[in-house]
Structure 1
Amino acid sequence: MLYSPHILKKKFVNKVVNKYNEVISSSEEWKEMGRCRCDDNSTEHFTTDNGSIYTPKYHIVCDKCQISEGDEVKVYSDDGSYRGGGKVYNAPKCNYLGYMSIYV
């Protein structure tokens, strides 16, 4: 991407389970996924299958990476200040170009 002033991070949760599939311990870490552009979103509206309307708070454009619906992401500015984030609602990938749009 030519214009990417922000840094995208994704939450990874590591769980240790016993033989009964009970969680013994868990830890989380935020890994950097690359550069991105995070825009405030107030114009896009999505209608879910059950008819409810969802308005995402942020529209994030980044290079293709391993982010899918349901993941938690955060976006930071170059100076380290928090820009925005939340749970990914929709993460379509572009077929021919090397970027994806994420709606949070």
Structure 2
Amino acid sequence: MPRHWTQGRDENGINWIACTEADTGIALPPIRWADHDRPETFRGLAAKQEGLAAREQERLLRALLRLCVLRYQAEAYRAIAEALAAGQTADVQAIVELSSREAEP
């Protein structure tokens, strides 16, 4: 996904940089700094954002795993219902495996 970076300086001499990603619509609002700002400030901000991104990635992974569990439960419940309706409760595993294969892309 190509990013398009733009940089400039406003009428007050404050620098800015922004980014957009056309494919996803992600847009980074302008980040501003002055020529006299300390590099440590922005190193600290970079570290903070990296930490936030890592925590968000972990949270999203846990959410994805929960989503998978919910879908598997739905498949199992559906298979149990079909097996009970057919009077074939010994075949729940076969039913759920068959329905799982049919649901795959």
TM-score where L is the length of structure 2: 0.21
Task: State the structure with bigger RCO (CA 8 A, min sep 6), 1 or 2.
Answer: 1
Question: Which has more strand, going by share of residues?
Answer: 1
Question: Which has more helix, going by share of residues?
Answer: 2
TM-score where L is the length of structure 1: 0.21
- Higher-Rg member (1/2): 2
